[in-house]
């Protein structure tokens, strides 16, 4: 009788990175949706915004190490193998997600820099503004792109999560098990 081989999974560091970055992105969305509940000029509003910046910066710091780990660790095959269209759609979505994780925080940093605003939390400056002449109009243009991209990725992330659930509960393959 054949002995069951352990199923291949993503390397532990890649799995940890996936769920850590997922939590940080989730928090970034939670904080940005919460800050407007607090009065303009209040310390709580500033701190909730500061928390958005901080978790966003953490994503920026982690994304290159994550990509390096992934390039070294590879991607284990899915069993049973999904149809070609689904593999292609998955690849496209993953490339888009990686690009988002890199570009979105950079756009946020550029916005703050151009507007001459530091990243601060509880009165502590974590990233000063290096721009001597702020340009609010240009800053708003970058902020608009950052906001639009943030909105578009609600849908891309939702598609990604639905796909993971479809693989697990619909196709009953090991796509999700490889990442937990």
CB nearest ligand HEM: which residue? Answer: 108
The footprint of ligand HEM (CB under 6 A) covers 18, 22, 25, 28-29, 32, 52-53, 56-57, 59-60, 70, 75, 90, 94, 97-98, 101, 104-105, 108-109, 111-112, 119, 143, 146-147, 150, 157, 160-161, 164-165, 175-176, 179
Q: In angstroms, what CA-CA distances link 174 with 2, 67, 92, 97, 135?
A: 20, 22, 20, 21, 50
DSSP annotation of 4 reads: P
**CA distance linking residue 180 with residue 174, whole number of Å:** 10
The least CB distance from residue 166 to ligand HEM, in Å, is: 10
> Two tokens at 44?
């709580």
| Cβ nearer to ligand HEM, comparing 2 with 104 | 104
**CA distance linking residue 113 with residue 80, whole number of Å:** 49
The least CB distance from residue 60 to ligand HEM, in Å, is: 6
| Cβ nearer to ligand HEM, comparing 20 with 133 | 20
The least CB distance from residue 113 to ligand HEM, in Å, is: 9
| Cβ nearer to ligand HEM, comparing 1 with 71 | 71
| Cβ nearer to ligand HEM, comparing 13 with 60 | 60
Q: Which helix (H) or strand (E) holds 66?
A: helix 43-73
Kindly report the backbone phi and psi dihedral angles of residue 127, in degrees, each rounded to the nearest multiple of 5, phi listed first: -145, 110
Residues composing the chain: 180
């Amino acid at each position: 009788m054949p002995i069951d081989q352990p199923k291949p999974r993503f390397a532990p560091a890649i799995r940890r990175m996936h769920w850590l970055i997922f939590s940080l992105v989730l928090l970034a969305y939670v904080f940005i949706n919460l800050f407007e509940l607090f009065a303009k000029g209040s310390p709580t509003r500033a701190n909730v915004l500061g928390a958005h910046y901080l978790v966003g910066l953490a994503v920026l710091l982690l994304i290159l190490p994550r990509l390096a780990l992934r390039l070294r660790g590879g991607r284990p095959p899915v069993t049973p193998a999904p149809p070609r269209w689904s593999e292609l759609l998955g690849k496209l979505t993953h490339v888009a997600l990686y690009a988002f994780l890199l570009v979105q925080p950079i756009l946020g940093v550029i916005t703050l820099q151009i507007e001459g605003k530091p990243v601060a939390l509880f009165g502590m400056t974590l990233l000063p503004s290096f721009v001597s002449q702020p340009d609010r109009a240009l800053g708003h243009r970058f902020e608009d792109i950052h906001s639009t991209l943030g909105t578009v990725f609600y849908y891309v992330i939702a598609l990604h999560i639905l796909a993971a659930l479809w693989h697990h509960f619909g196709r009953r393959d090991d796509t999700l098990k490889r990442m937990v």
